[in-house]
Structure formats: structure tokens, C-alpha cells
Structure 1
């Protein structure tokens, strides 16, 4: 550990930042309601007065240190070995395992929906409000009466956790984090393999996905099921690329059993598998006839659809609640932030029309979201068909499809970017794209607040977030964008 700290000071800086983020979360994040754990630990003074002020200072200092360390590592990722990069991810993760849920209260909703399931209700028709208590009190109350949108595999996992922890909120949060950790480990295994398969940098891939403070804090400090979904998604894609198509599809079936969004990747497996089959046939000197027949295509199509569906269907049968999760998907429209194109356009339309008429934003969003959904469907089909040439074009199509989903679906939240991040590592991103990633990640890290509020509608705070995000992005290319060293030299030498 001492040698690691000496050789990689940036990794140590980020670790200290993660410690401060965790410490600050006990006063700045949304702590469980009607729970005596903080009082029992003597930490309740951190939630008000000077204690809350100190918590805020610790949290944001820690976040700044993590971003600074991330930028410095990303500037020259080759200076840190792959093993050291993985060690850095592990070291930054450990403190976040015991943080108060940060930037979101979704984990309380997980526990609430699992609790009503344990109590004999159907979480796909009955909301967490059916079982009042500290878990429901801790949730964002807009979700208390709503039903679960989560896939059956994840609901089974949650039911097992709540069966152990009951109404103990802190214990439930910790066990959920432990249950999601395989997603982190699978991602650490898969991302380097996806990158290496296409000749991209393994270390840069891990830097993009898991050293990224915005994603790491949200996924672990949140915590969010996307961590487990991302692990299965990345591992499934890696297995398919290695030519292990059926194990890869089984793993992708696990991914959609955690969250159905992972299914966007599955159609692109068809082209990867057919490309592998074509190359193998062409390499055979005794081959006669076409490399790919219509029977090959039909078989690959059928297997690609059937294997993940069978996995998902098995979890559905075990849970015994049918496809009720479809009901919960509709509640995503309650999330309104301007980070998808339909919602952004809806805001612009209502602002532009304001001098002449008053249009209710909700009514405008019905139209813009409908247009966005149609556009998304067309784009996904077009990307899929355009990606049919080889495995590289299929991976590119998969990445663009994930990005299109993020930008055109009814709502998007920061941790959703894991969907595209774990796929785009297949490509060597130019510096300007990496700068955009740093800028967007830093901006999201600031405008989404630790207590689940959002600063975007406050002009001054939004401008400050944009300024810090721009500084972080520029710093990836330039070591001293503000010329502070020159200013310090002038002060010293006159």
C-alpha cells in the first residue's frame, strides 16, 4: 500500500477525495428518515448547523480531488499500469461502500419495492406506500405510490436482501452495495478485453468508465442497479467478441434480467456472430459455396433472440409476477430534466411561446416525447441495419444506439451513461472527445446535488458548474490552464 501511494500520487489523491466524499455524505446527502443509526453513532450533528457546513466542505473538496486525480491520470494513462488502474478503482470504491446514499434516493425505492414483495404484495401493481415505515419515509415521495419498473432478476435479488435486513435501512443499503459489487468486478474484467480486441487502450477504457468520479460515486455511492447491469452487459459483449456466443448471450440475458435497457445491445450480436462465422468459413481452404447461407442467418437470428429471452423468462417464472414491470416503465415520464432532446426542446418551446401564450410544459412534453420515441425507433433500426458489415461496425452501431437512447428517451440521469461508456471503450477516442466526457461528467457531478436536488434551474449555480466543467475539460490537455504557476512566479520574483 505504501509503495502504491508513493508510485501513484494521483491515485492516492483520489482515494483521499473518496474518503472526504464519504465523510461529507453523512451531513450533506439525504440520510434515512426516522432511523436512529446516526444518533446512535453520534453523527447526527453533521446534518445541521456548523456540522452540515463542514460536511459540505468535506464533500466538495473530496469531489474536486477525485476529479483532479481523474484528469491527471487521464492526461497520461500510460504512466499507470493496468493492474495499478484496477487497484485505483478498488481503492476509490472502498470508502464509498459506507457512504450515505449520494445524489439519489433510488436505493430507498429498491428497498421499498422489495419490502412490499416480501409482505405478499405485487410490486408491479402495488407501490412501497403499502408498507409504511422508515424505508418509505426515506424515499422520494413521488415514488412511494408508484410500481416497480425493475426486471424480475433484480427484484429476486432485492427480495433476498430485504429478507435478511428487514426494515434496517442502513443494513439494506450496505447489502445492496455488496450485491452490486460483482458488476464492478465484471466490468473491470470485460472492459480491458473489449478494448484490446479492437486495439484500443485497456487503461484508457477503465479510466473512462470506472475511474470517472461521476460514474463511480453515482454507481457505488448512489448506489444504482446500473452497476450490476453494466457488468453483465460488458461481460456478455466481451464473451461474444471472443467467439463464445452462447455464454455471451446467456450473460446478456442476465443483464436484461437486471434492467431491460441492456436489450438494446442484443440485436447487434447477430452481426458480430455472422462476421465470426464468415471469417471462419473464408479461412477454410476446403470451403465450397457461399460463406453465409440463409440457414446460417436464420439460426443466428433465432439463437440471438431465444437465449436471452429464455434467461429473462426463467427469472419471470421464478418471480411469478408476469410482465408487470412494463407498468412501472411509464412512470419515467415523471422525471423532468433538460438532459434529453425531447425535454430540452419542450423547455425551449414553452420559453419562446411565453410572450404570446402560456403552454403547460407537461402538455408540450407529450408531443416532443412522442416525436422523440418515433425518431428513436427509426434511428435504432437504421443503426442496426447499417452495422451489418463486420464486428467493428456492429460495436460502433451498439455504442451509437446506446447514446441515441440516452438522448431521445423520456428521461435521462447521469448514471445512465454507463450504458454507452462500457461499449465505447472498443474505440480509441480522440482527445477532444475525452475532453467532452470530462466536461459533461464534471458538470453532472455538480448540478445533481448530494441530497437528490438539482441546480440546473438556478442560473448562477449552473454557470459556475459550466465554468468548473470547462476548466476540467481544458485541464485534460493543458497542465496549467489558468497559468497559476506563472502568477505564483510573478508574486515570488516580482
Structure 2
């Protein structure tokens, strides 16, 4: 007699699993020709210049299309025949798809080389928050894009320490600089894998606490090409942030009523403190995690105000102690916060405010004022940050209103969804945006979206994000500046019209 959730082999979508594996293997094979290899020019070429490279790029596109279509078809099966896709089978499928990419060179980005250099600087007693990898003397700085070679590290002390640990191990096991870089990048990818595994362990639990199908949440949040290609293939710090944020929200939301709100607040706060010690953007989750501890399972109503304040204090204490402990242990300071401004040198329309500034810049050029273009982009980015602050404030107000709801599961689902929207706003309204910046937003939304209509919208966005960067690290946004800027203008206009109609609808009914 088979266990619950197990199905006869013919009823399982085995063909999809095999096609996805072949697609992933094709991506890996192609990456050894057109991926972000450490040799050659640090700047990724916009397009291949040899037939062999064109063949490699064709294989990459074909593999990514096949993997995306397979992922979509699996999602359709999850919707139409949910019993045929048990959670365990789905997780094993994701592992199978990810395995080839773990053997590929970095893809979609050269950030792994920058991480290795930043860790090497720290190990050698150089402050990575004061100098870039080239002036700091990193022997691998030639593998880092020229745009970032002289930029101080914009990542927190935990990110630097983990990179330093990878480099330290690499120096122990190999004596050549090329071999050390290979080992260091492999260990950095293992760290990214650990972040994804942590998310795999916690996302289904978070989804159940919110009353969402964990299989659907896992399919959308963790099996997509966005995770395989950019979180694992690119070995990004964002993968660790993904795991820590999802784990923190899962702990805050329950589902065990025996694990008290106080301990849940401290634990989730500590996890978020570690996430902030990697990337400061993780701080967005903290107020929502605090509210989740108020509506944990086992409570029939919202906690009294005094208890809520106590929980908030414990969460802040956990986050502060974890962050301060890492900072003191590494001997680093807060210089990475000021280094964040240097990342704004990249001007791409994938950031909506930047795209609006670019559109204004094109008009200024037509009007004969090219000197005002940089000012237009800077002004648009400032307005974007103001809009971001306002958006998060509105989401927090809505989150506070959701807490007293009698439906505790519904309240948790709403809080999780609002957290995902906050990370979405953070990604879209920040001065710069890369596809992997959406990893946390997609995973958290996957655990908080109630209906397939919204799931499909997020899945479409995930598909687009997966194709925005070529395997060598060159962003397609560079090749589509004017169309992209016009797209941002159209997007803002459409959203404004939708918001106005929603605002007018209740008024007209009244």
C-alpha cells in the first residue's frame, strides 16, 4: 500500500521532468561557450562575434525557451490535476532541473567574480568599503566588469565574510590564482544553493500558514527559470537573502502554536538581521514579520496592543543583535551603506523611475538641452524613492488593518501578500534593477496569492525577467533604451488609469 500523496508512475508528468532536465543541460553546455567565463574581456560583448559563439547563444536561447515552456506546462498540470503533482515529486523535479546548472560557469552576471574579489580584499586586510577591487589589488579584478572595478562593496558584512571564507578555503586547496578563483566561485554557488534549499524548506510551511496550496507556491516561487538561472546559475547573494527572508516569515507566521509569539519574534528578527547583513533591502520584511507574529495560529483574535508592542521590541532586538554581532565579528563598519549610491551609475529602463528619467532625457535632447539629461534621471530616481516610501507606508497601513480580521488564515495570507508587494515595489522603484532582484518578491507573493489569476500575472513577469540578461552578463536593456523608456511611460500611465478607476468606482456606487 503506497503512502498518501504517492501516485502510480504512469500518472506522474515524467515527460516534463525529462524535458526540463534536457533543457537545463543544454543551458549548461551552452554556458561553457557564451557564459560569464573568467577569461577574456571583463565587459560582456553585446552580441557574439564568431559562429561558434552564435551557436552557443542559439543553444542557450533554445534551452531557456524549452525550460520555460516546460515550467509553464507543469504549472498548468498543477492547476488542472493537482493530485498528480505531489509536493515531494515537485521538489525532486526542481532538484533535477537545477543539478546541471550547478556545474555551469557563472551565467547572466559576473557578480560571483566581484564577490570573490571583495572577500579576498577583506582577507588581505583591505577595507572593501573604501576601495574597489582593482585599486584594492585583487588578482581577479580583470574578470569583474569595468563599471564595477573601482566601486566599493555595496554588500553587508555577512556577504563579505562569506565571500572571504570561500576565498580562504580556495587558497588552502589550490596554489594557482586560476584554480583558486574556480574553487571560490564553486563555494559561492554552494552558498547560493544553501539559500535556495532554506527557501525550499520554509516556503511550503509559509504557504500553509497563509492558506495557500504549497505545491502551487513552490512551483511559482522556486522552480522557475528565474531561480535556476539567476539564483543558482548566477550564484547571487540574493539567493541567501531569499532563504533568510522566507525562513523569517515562515517562523513569524507559524504554524506551530507551541512556539510562542515572543520566541517567533526574536527568531524571525534574527534571521532578518542576517539578511540585512547581506543586502539592506531585506529590512522591508521586518514590520510585516512583526505583524505576522500577532496573527499566529492558535489565536482567535489579535493580540492586545501591549503584547504587540512587546513582540515588536523582541523582533527589533533579534534583528539588531544579529546584525551588530556579524558587523563586530567581521571588523567591518557601515561603509557599505554609502557605497550603495555608486551603483546608480548604471542607467537602464528596467528601473521604472530611471526609465521615466530616460524618457524625459530624450525629450530634453530634442529640445536642445542635452546637458539636462543627467539631472532628469536623478530627479526621476528621487521621485521614485519618494513613491517607494509612500507605497510601503500604504502597504503597512493596509497590513495593520488586516490584523484584527476574524479570519486568522485570511489575515496571514493578506500580510504575506502585502509583504510580497512591498518587495515588488522595492525592486521596481529603486534606481537600478536586475532580474534577480525579483527573487524574494516572487517567492513571497507565491505564498500569499489566493487565486490563479494573480499567479498567472506573476508567472508572466517571471518569464520576462528570465530572458532580460544574456548568459555572458550583457543586459538586453542596453539594446532597447528608447523602447524600454517608452514602455515605462506607458506602464505608469496604465497603472494611473487603473488606480483612478478603482478610486472612482466606490465613489460612484456611493
Which TM bucket (shorter chain)? 0.7 to 0.9
Match of 1:58 in 2: 59
| Between 339-348 and 225-234, the greater mean CA deviation after superposition | 339-348
Match of 1:236 in 2: 248
Write the deviation string for residues 419-474 of structure 1: whole angstroms up to 9, x where unpaired: 211211233454443333333333333331111112235469989xx9xxxxxxxx
Decide whether aligned partners of structure 1 residues 395 and 427 sit closer, same or farther in structure 2, where only a CA change above 3 A counts: closer
- Is contact 1:215–1:414 with CA below 8 Å preserved after alignment? no
Aligned partner of 1:300 among 301, 304, 311 = 311
2:281 paired with 1:280: no
Match of 2:114 in 1: 109
- Structure 1 segments of 4+ aligned residues over 4 angstroms from their partners: 3-7, 131-134, 291-294, 459-463
2:120 paired with 1:100: no
Aligned partner of 1:413 among 428, 431, 434 = 434
Match of 1:387 in 2: 399
Match of 1:42 in 2: none
Match of 1:188 in 2: 200
Alignment of 1:148-297 (within 5 A): 148-166=153-171, 167=177, 168-242=180-254, 243=261, 244-276=264-296, 280=299, 292-297=303-308
Decide whether aligned partners of structure 1 residues 104 and 257 sit closer, same or farther in structure 2, where only a CA change above 3 A counts: same
User: Structure 2: where are the runs of 5+ without partners?
Assistant: 1-8, 42-47, 172-176, 255-260, 404-410, 488-510
Per the TM alignment, residue 336 of structure 1 is displaced from its structure 2 partner at its CA by: 1.8
- Is contact 1:201–1:428 with CA below 8 Å preserved after alignment? no
- Is contact 2:123–2:164 with CA below 8 Å preserved after alignment? yes
> In the aligned structure 2, how far is the partner of 1:431 from the partner of 1:395?
16
Aligned partner of 1:90 among 86, 95, 105 = 95
> In the aligned structure 2, how far is the partner of 1:152 from the partner of 1:323?
9
| Between 74-83 and 139-148, the greater mean CA deviation after superposition | 74-83
Aligned partner of 1:350 among 334, 356, 361 = 361
Write the deviation string for residues 278-337 of structure 1: whole angstroms up to 9, x where unpaired: x7375xxxxxxxx75553233222112111111000000001121111122112212221
| Between 307-316 and 212-221, the greater mean CA deviation after superposition | 212-221
2:71 paired with 1:70: yes
Alignment of 1:429-440 (within 5 A): 429-440=450-461
SS of aligned partner of 1:453: coil
Q: What is the TM-score of this pair, normalised by structure 2? A: 0.81
> In the aligned structure 1, how far is the partner of 2:427 from the partner of 2:481?
27
Q: What is the TM-score of this pair, normalised by structure 1? A: 0.83
How large is the RMSD of aligned CA atoms in angstroms?
2.6
Decide whether aligned partners of structure 1 residues 137 and 458 sit closer, same or farther in structure 2, where only a CA change above 3 A counts: closer
2:402 paired with 1:401: no
User: Structure 1: where are the runs of 5+ without partners?
Assistant: 36-46, 283-290, 467-494
Decide whether aligned partners of structure 1 residues 5 and 350 sit closer, same or farther in structure 2, where only a CA change above 3 A counts: farther
Decide whether aligned partners of structure 1 residues 204 and 48 sit closer, same or farther in structure 2, where only a CA change above 3 A counts: same
> In the aligned structure 1, how far is the partner of 2:392 from the partner of 2:366?
37
Match of 2:323 in 1: 312
Match of 1:29 in 2: 35
